Amino acid sequence: MLTFDILTLFPGMFVGPTTESILKRAQQAGLIEARLHNIRDWATDRHRTADDAPYGGGAGMVMKAEPLAACIRAVAGAGAPPVILLSPDGEPFTQAIAHELSREERIVLVCGHYEGLDERVREALVTRELSIGDYVLTGGELAAMVVLDAVARLVPGVIDAESTAEESHSDGLLEYPHYTRPAVWEERPVPPVLVSGHHGEVAKWRRRERLRRTLARRPDLLARAHADGHLTREDLVYLADLGWGPG
């Protein structure tokens, strides 16, 4: 079982994402556990203060070192799990990182808020920082939900392994398009190959659609997929016909 310890000032934000759909079923099955920890519970004053004005002046507030550090130490314990801060300064979160984290036994996710947290806590206790994109949110809670969802679905048994085999970013390419009944919708038919019954042709079509879609939407991914050895000779021939070649 993979345990997510989520440190936040606003635990109520996680009601819904952790209590519905696949994440709910995964917890009921004992495959994952999502535990919420209110950072304010480690504040020592009667107002449970977790933020203060920044040294040097400026707008906004900064998360105080003492309650956050006490929370991290109490939750992390002696097992030394990864302590991950969700931050726009972090390394970009990718499918490869999601796979890596899915092999852990426990992960501590720290949700920053306000203008950020006291830098000394970062230096002393945070082992990794992740960003879900080049933009700024009001806090790390939404980013933590993204990491939780992306990692949890890769834990064995949470969803069918076949469902993740050829999805977007699994091997550097985007996913092929999907269709279901009816066979014709608003004069738009399903591609004939998908109802042909020829499994080999279906597989070939899907692979080419992944290549075509990646070239059209995320050509930057193709060079990386080629460098990582994910493209076959047949893939390269097809991409050359579409006008792409490794630089």
Mean pLDDT of the chain: 95
Cα 34–chain centre separation:
15
**Under CATH, domain 2-161 is a member of which superfamily?**
SPOUT methyltransferase, trefoil knot domain (3.40.1280.10)
* pLDDT tens per residue, range 62-108: 999 999 999 999 999 988 999 999 999 999 999 999 999 999 999 99
Residue 158, classified by CB atoms within 10 Å of its CB into exposed (0-12), middle (13-18) or buried (19+), is: buried
The 10s digit of each residue's pLDDT in 211-245 is: 999 999 999 999 999 999 999 999 999 999 999 99
Beta strand extents in 76-212 (DSSP E only): 83-92, 106-111, 128-131, 184-185, 188-189
- Under CATH, which number does the domain 172-241 receive? 1.10.1270.20
* Chain-centre distance for alpha carbon 215: 23
Task: Write down the domain spans for the chain.
Answer: 2-161, 172-241
Domains 2-161 and 172-241 share a fold: no
| The dihedral sign for the CA sequence 18, 174, 88, 129 | positive
pTM, 2 dp? 0.90
